[in-house]
Structure 1
Amino acid sequence: MGKAVLAVGVVLVVVALMIARRVYGEPLKVRRLLLAPLFELAIGGYQIATHGGLPAGEWLSLALTGALSLGLGAARGATVELFERRGVLWQRYRLRTFGVWLAAFVARFGVRALLAVLGVTTAAASISSLASGGKPHFSAALIGTLLITSGLGFLGESLVLTPRALATGVPLQPSGRTGSPLLAILDGVRGGDRPAGGARRRR
């Protein structure tokens, strides 16, 4: 269980850093869009495979919440702002991006809670314990399912964001090139952002 917690900690740090960059804005790279979901899916799959798999009810839960995550992740990808900065395409999360994210979290939790109440999954004890003020039990397999649903959400976002990015006609930043954060901030102060394929954006 200690290794599972460590794996989750690493994933959370990576995801938190990625979200922080996208809130400010970062150059869009298709390769980077795919790395985060594949990383989470791989870690989640490993957790499940190395801890005896899942009961039938949990597979059903994973299928339903995974489909929700993929679909709402695609909806989230449609809300991401694309703009041109210093001649390359950038992306930035907006307030409604986090609104879709919250909706996905509530939907996934609702499905798991419903399945637990119906006795389909083995999560009923955890939910009952949490409701009574106790500490829920998170097995390595359950952690794996949470990582997979999160990874599917990022995958859905990438599947929508990638064709949107390519359709703008704005060049993507070459791999290996790193921009200066200070220069990016100064560009923002000067109003250097342009909507992808459009005129200068007003702040």
Structure 2
Amino acid sequence: MNLAMIALVVLLVGYLLVRRMTGQLMEARRMLVLPAILTVIGLASLNSATLSATAIGFLLLGCIVGIGFGLVRGYTVRITERDGTAWMRYSIASVGLWIAAIAARVLLISVESAIDPTAASAAGQATMMAVGIGFLAESVVVLYRAMHSDATIVWRADKSGGHTVSPTLADMHNRVRGGGSKIR
């Protein structure tokens, strides 16, 4: 992974951390699309010609670790209601899990490099993919938890303070809370 990619990952993660630590409107589009973009960029950065079986194994391990931390972190996010809409905010545990995830990633890189430096380097190109997948797993858990509240889950917020609600998301929210027809 080159220096520019490392800087980009640090900036994106830092941006998301600050926003989520200060509290923000739970905007489903932003919660799902940005991590998906990070994942696709990470996937696109892979050079399939240099991916050995060991590199693919390291890559999968990194993604599994990212998903695991994301799922657990999703349960530590505080969900509140403001003016009828769902808001989210990182707790101390959320930040602690980020620190643990970074430490685990550093340890994983060290172990992978000791086993096979070439494969570790190839798998390291997909760090952004692992980060994106971790954020996506977190977002899915947070949205799932918010579905059990009475607060409106916003799809997109506009600059004027208005909100767009996704009919599909609103229908899922209604079904989870017990209204409407059940999913079979």
Q: Counterpart of 2:80 in 1: which secondary structure?
A: strand
Identity %: 30
After TM superposition, the runs of 4+ consecutive aligned structure 1 residues lying more than 6 A away are: none
Of residues 70, 73, 76 in structure 2, which corresponds to 1:73?
A: 70
Q: TM-score, normalised by structure 1?
A: 0.68
* Farther off after superposition, 163-172 or 8-17: 8-17
For residues 179 and 61 of structure 1, what CA distance do their matches in structure 2 show?
Answer: 45
How far is the alpha carbon of 1:55 from its aligned partner?
2.8
Of residues 34, 37, 42 in structure 2, which corresponds to 1:36?
A: 34
For residues 53 and 153 of structure 1, what CA distance do their matches in structure 2 show?
Answer: 24
1:127-180, Cα deviation, whole Å (9 max, x unpaired)? xxxxxxxxxxxx6x5553111111111011012111101111211235243477
Of residues 66, 84, 96 in structure 1, which corresponds to 2:93?
A: 96
**Is contact 2:59–2:123 with CA below 8 Å preserved after alignment?**
no
Of residues 40, 46, 52 in structure 1, which corresponds to 2:44?
A: 46
Residues 32-181 of structure 1 aligned to structure 2 (within 5 Å): 32-49=30-47, 52-117=49-114, 119-122=115-118, 141=122, 144-173=125-154, 175-178=156-159
Cα distance change on mapping 1:121 and 1:143 into 2, 3 Å: closer
1:21-63, Cα deviation, whole Å (9 max, x unpaired)? 11111100221111121111111111114x7442322211111
User: Please, which runs of 5 or more residues in structure 2 have no aligned partner?
Assistant: 162-184
Q: TM-score, normalised by structure 2?
A: 0.75
What is the count of residue pairs matched by the alignment?
A: 161
For residues 32 and 161 of structure 1, what CA distance do their matches in structure 2 show?
Answer: 13
Q: Counterpart of 2:153 in 1: which secondary structure?
A: coil
**Is contact 1:77–1:157 with CA below 8 Å preserved after alignment?**
yes
What amino acid is aligned across from residue 157 of structure 1 in structure 2?
Answer: E
User: Please, which runs of 5 or more residues in structure 1 have no aligned partner?
Assistant: 125-138, 181-203
The structure with more radius of gyration: 1
